[in-house]
Amino acid sequence: MPSPSDHPPRRDPDYVNFPPFETEDLRANLTRFLDTPFEDDSSQTRKIGHYKWGVYAFFDYDGEPIYVGQTNEMLRTRIRRHLTNQRTDAVAMSVLDPFEVLEIEVWPLPQFQETNRADVAARQHLDALERVITQRAVEQSEFKAILNEKDPPLGPLVVEAPRSLRARIVSNRVYELRSHPDFRIARRSLIISRLAQVISERKVQGGLRRVLLTQAMRLQWLASRRYDALGGAASVEQETDEDV
């Protein structure tokens, strides 16, 4: 017969400071992704999150690209800030919903690993890579738009995208919870409402209104697909005399 010590202690949420399951799951899977060994174009191998310079993209549960960003402080730091409790402007303004992110792809720039953040040539290369990845994301999008509030910096430099790593950061259990279309419709509606509230309370630039328009298109597309899948017009009941 097993002794009491064979069982882990029960965690009482009223007395123990630990996050909800989905939050713990995200942190664990994000850490696993960021700790993945990656062999870059220079034939060096390091954990993907340890690259200092690079571009990253987030994808939703339909494989749609939804957000592209860049960093010269470290991929691990920047990506975690987006998706965990270290909030960024994109999350705080309801531009990006971490609940929508299923996969991440990153394009590290190993040649600038020891380069100072103020280096002009390195920054120009980073901006050029962000333009390439953003253009690719927009072209691949069903809506020909992503959720970035601002466009990448302009510049004449043209670069090729380096080797990348793409992986899922959501467990099967969380996927089952979040992938249901009705949950996603409700969640997306909530984010649109929050974003519209932000816009109504502030003097905002056109980029935030573009995000609102893109989110509205994404919601309409998802709701329409769900409606059609369940029978569309044929699924709507007819009124009876009892309803009058």
Taking alpha carbons only, the member of 116, 136, 126, 134 closest to residue 159 is: 126
Strand partners, 198: none
Mean pLDDT of the chain: 89
The pLDDT of residue 150 is 94
**Segment holding 69, helix H or strand E:** strand 65-71
Do residues 13 and 82 make contact, with C-beta atoms less than 8 angstroms apart?
no
Q: Say how far apart CA 61 and CA 24 lie, in whole Å.
A: 20
Look at residue 179 and tell me whether its pLDDT is greater than 80.
yes
DSSP of 128-182, one letter per residue?
Answer: HHHHHHHHHHHHHSTTS--S-SSPPPP-S--------EEEE-S-HHHHHHH-SHH
Q: What is the mean pLDDT of residues 186-211?
A: 92
Q: How does residue 204 score in pLDDT terms, banded at 50, 70 and 90?
A: confident
Do residues 48 and 34 make contact, with C-beta atoms less than 8 angstroms apart?
yes
Q: How does residue 164 score in pLDDT terms, banded at 50, 70 and 90?
A: very high
The pLDDT of residue 15 is 61
- pLDDT digits over 33-43, tens only? 999 999 998 89
The maximal CA–CA distance of the chain, rounded, in angstroms, is 77
The pLDDT of residue 17 is 60
Percentage of the chain surpassing pLDDT 90?
Answer: 74
Helices (H), 5-161: 21-34, 75-83, 89-92, 120-140
- pLDDT digits over 4-57, tens only? 445 555 656 566 666 567 778 888 899 999 999 999 988 999 999 999 999 999
Total-model pTM = 0.88
Q: Say how far apart CA 226 and CA 240 lie, in whole Å.
A: 26
SS3 221: helix
- In total, the chain counts a number of residues equal to 244
Residue listed under structure tokens 């259990």: 173
Q: Say how far apart CA 206 and CA 214 lie, in whole Å.
A: 12
The pLDDT of residue 202 is 87
SS3 90: helix
Q: How does residue 2 score in pLDDT terms, banded at 50, 70 and 90?
A: very low
- pLDDT digits over 85-113, tens only? 655 566 667 788 989 999 999 999 999 99
Q: Say how far apart CA 241 and CA 202 lie, in whole Å.
A: 49
Q: Say how far apart CA 122 and CA 51 lie, in whole Å.
A: 14
Q: Say how far apart CA 187 and CA 137 lie, in whole Å.
A: 23
The pLDDT of residue 189 is 96
SS3 54: strand
